[in-house]
Amino acid sequence: MQVTMTVNDVEVTREIEGRLLLVHFLRDTLSLTGTHWGCDTSNCGTCVVWLDGEPVKSCTVLAAMADGHEVRTVEGLAKGAELDPIQEGFMQCHGLQCGFCTPGMMMTCRALLDKNPDPTDAEIREAISGQICRCTGYSTIVRSVRWASVHEAANK
Amino acid sequence: MQVPAPFEYERATSVDQAIGLLERLGSSARLVAGGHSLLPMMKLRLANFDYLIDINPLHAELGYIRPVGDEVRIGALTRHRELLESDELAAAFPIFRDAERVIADPVVRNRGTLGGSLCQADPSEDLSAVCTTLDARCVIRGPGGAERVVTMEEFHVGPYETAVGDDEMLTEIRLPLRPGGGSAYEKVERRAGDWAVVSAGAAVWLAADGTITDARVGLAAVGPNTTGIPEVSAALRGREPAEDLYEQAGAIAARSCDPATDQRGSADYKRHLADELTRRTLRTAVARARS
């Protein structure tokens, strides 16, 4: 079957199998390997991308379900050479060690800040409660999101 | 890599068109909504279908929370996040917000739906217990627009089995609004987003003099079914809310359920939870009914 969707503001059309999962469509068909593929059971959250602006676990969404919709991946966070404040925050506050969970964490946290520009630590932890960091870096992830929140507010 | 076995993907354009497809394709086809239960099962080959009919395009038609007369009607494709965020639903049935806060995680809740949860009919599933507690009615539509309305007891046939036929679709859940009501839900889980070790929902309706006119308790993860416990309702009706009454209800809940020892806990521990969570949710439900 043929699907057409907008990925990071670019319209793409591809011939796919109905069973193809969105995570594999992004990584293998479009070579957008920033989205990671982890547990395959919608538990770990490293595959989080946006579907029409909402974070979803792309290992549990069919690529066909995104037909006609808008997808955004971690590659679509920066504006040209300018990093998103979330990305900057993860750099400034050591929000990652191995980096495996990072793309999913950043997509979820960006969506959180879009809805709630000044979240509490508890709200950040709730937002990422469906995502696993095996370097046990949750404290620094929370700090990174706070950094982005504070700097975004200051730059407005 | 885990991927489902090959299937033909069909996209629904209307409820009746989807039912038409089901009628033609029979048991080789399955509806998919959020897909967060069905796709993992298909990856593991626990479920195999030749056709998947994607009903996500019907969200405008089947995603709603609507008070109609003396009930609240919820479209089957209403997503967990929408159920969680609805102040109207939380005001009428606080049990929904209690439960939605602990169902899976925020990202999964962006996709999963009420209808999908009920049709999955997993005995550990929270919304089945919520709908049982609230004495919900399920609207099932079949070929030719024929609709039938069933109770949760009739809907939930057994684990992973519902009253929805091969050529039918769950379209709406109806929750009766009754005066003096309060409700609550509690879940014990091993970690955030996990299935329940045990969870319990309670709903009470109080008369003007403060006595209980009716009460219902629904448990999840304590046996093959999430049906209500009529004996608890019978013990509470006509009585004054009090701690010893909750204790009595908890004891009935513990001995009425049929939990199995598994990696989430022993049968004894789960019975203990059924007792304790029944008391806690009744206590909260009564407090909310009074306020």
Tell me the pTM: 0.96
Domain residue spans in chain B?
Answer: 8-58, 60-176, 181-290
Tell me if A19 and B36 make a contact (CB, 8 A cut-off): no
Of the candidates B8, B5, B37, the residue with the CA atom closest to the CA atom of residue B25: B8
Q: Quick one: pLDDT at residue B218?
A: 94
pLDDT in tens, chain A (156 residues): 999 999 999 999 999 999 999 999 999 999 999 999 999 999 999 999 999 999 999 999 999 999 999 999 999 999 999 999 999 999 999 999 999 999 999 999 999 999 999 999 999 999 999 999 999 779 999 999 999 999 998 887
Q: Quick one: pLDDT at residue B135?
A: 96
B6 → closest Cβ in A17, A40, A48: A17
The two structure tokens encoding residue B64:
């709603």
Interface test with A, best of B1, B41, B107 (most A CBs within 10 A): B107
Report chain B's mean pLDDT, rounded to a whole number.
Answer: 96
Residue of B nearest to A64 (CA): B9
Q: How confident is the model at residue B1 (pLDDT cuts 50, 70, 90)?
A: confident
Is the domain spanning A85-154 CATH 3.40.640.10? The answer is no
The C-alpha atoms of residue B123 and residue B221 are separated, in whole angstroms, by: 5
Convert the pLDDT of each residue in B12-44 to its tens digit.
Answer: 999 999 999 999 999 999 999 999 999 999 999
Q: How confident is the model at residue B246 (pLDDT cuts 50, 70, 90)?
A: very high
Convert the pLDDT of each residue in B156-167 to its tens digit.
Answer: 999 999 999 999
Burial (CB count <10 Å: 0-12, 13-18, 19+), residue B179: exposed
Is the domain spanning B8-58 CATH 3.30.43.10? The answer is yes
Tell me if B107 and A48 make a contact (CB, 8 A cut-off): yes
Of chain A, the end-to-end C-alpha distance in Å amounts to 45
Q: Quick one: pLDDT at residue B227?
A: 67
Cβ contacts (< 8 Å) between A48 and chain B: which residues?
107
Mean pLDDT of B124-138: 96
Beta carbons within 8 Å of A79's beta carbon, 6+ residues apart: none
Q: Quick one: pLDDT at residue A26?
A: 98
Do A104 and A46 contact (CB within 8 A), yes or no? yes
Class of domain B60-176: alpha beta
CA distances for A34 relative to A6, A31, A82, B210, angstroms: 17, 9, 17, 59
B104 → closest Cβ in A20, A24, A130: A130
ipTM of the complex: 0.96
B9 in contact with A at a CB cutoff of 8 Å?
Answer: yes
Q: Quick one: pLDDT at residue B226?
A: 62
Tell me if B106 and A64 make a contact (CB, 8 A cut-off): no
The C-alpha atoms of residue B204 and residue B133 are separated, in whole angstroms, by: 9
Judging by DSSP bridges, how do beta strands B29-32 and B137-141 pair with one another?
unpaired
Residue of A nearest to B34 (CA): A61
Domain residue spans in chain A?
Answer: 2-76, 85-154
- Nearest Cα of chain B lies from the Cα of A1 at a distance, in angstroms, of 8
- Of 3.90.209.20, 1.10.10.10, 3.10.20.30, 3.40.50.1370, which CATH number belongs to A2-76? 3.10.20.30
Is the domain spanning B181-290 CATH 3.30.300.30? The answer is no
A64 → closest Cβ in B54, B110, B111: B54
Q: How confident is the model at residue B193 (pLDDT cuts 50, 70, 90)?
A: confident
B-proximal residues of A, 76-135, CB under 8 Å: 108, 126-127, 129-131
